[in-house]
Amino acid sequence: MNSRSTVDSLFGAMQSDTFDATQCPVRNILDRIGDKWTSLVLVALADRPHRFSELQRAAPDISKRMLTQTLRQLERDGLITRQVFPTKPPAVQYQLSPLGVSVLEPLGHLIDWANRSYDQILSARAEYDSANPASALPVNA
């Protein structure tokens, strides 16, 4: 039933019938990139290495717990490195690894698209909401 005509070479693997979506590399990674804080941290670190509390200040609405978790995941995935300096008050520096740097380029494309398209999306939302006034997202209501 499922048309397995794989037109696009990029998406082909994701569209084949035998594809096991539950252990998809792409989904695995998109889940990480897309979560609420990861990309923010990556962008902050794109500029220069940051200490823990610098990152906290850069994104004031992230809780310590979430920041720790995000950083751990990124470290585990090899996108950032964590360096502890045994200075007077021990300092911890996070910085992008080469792999982490390499994600900035595709991420940058997406950010660029987001910026370019934001207006369109906002007006699409406004239009949708005015067309569906009472039940914008009935599933959630």
Name the site residues for DNA (rule: CB under 7 A).
35-37, 51-54, 61-66, 68-69, 82, 88-92, 138-139, 141
Q: Which is nearer to DNA, 25 or 89 (CB)?
A: 89
- For the chain, helix, strand, coil in percent to 5 are 55, 10, 35
Phi (first) and psi of residue 135, to 5 degrees: -125, 65
CA dihedral 108, 113, 116, 120 (to 10 degrees): -150
Selection from a second copy, DNA, none that 52 binds (CB < 5 to 8 A by kind) is DNA
The reply on whether position 91 binds a second copy by CB under 8 A is: no
CA-wise closest residue to 67 among 85, 80, 86: 80
Largest CA distance in the chain: 66
- Give least dist CB 123 to a second copy, A: 8
What x-and-dash track marks residues 20-49 binding a second copy by CB under 8 A?
Answer: -xx--xxxxxxx-xxxx--xx--xx-xxx-
Rule CB under 8 A: is residue 92 a binding residue for a second copy? Answer: no
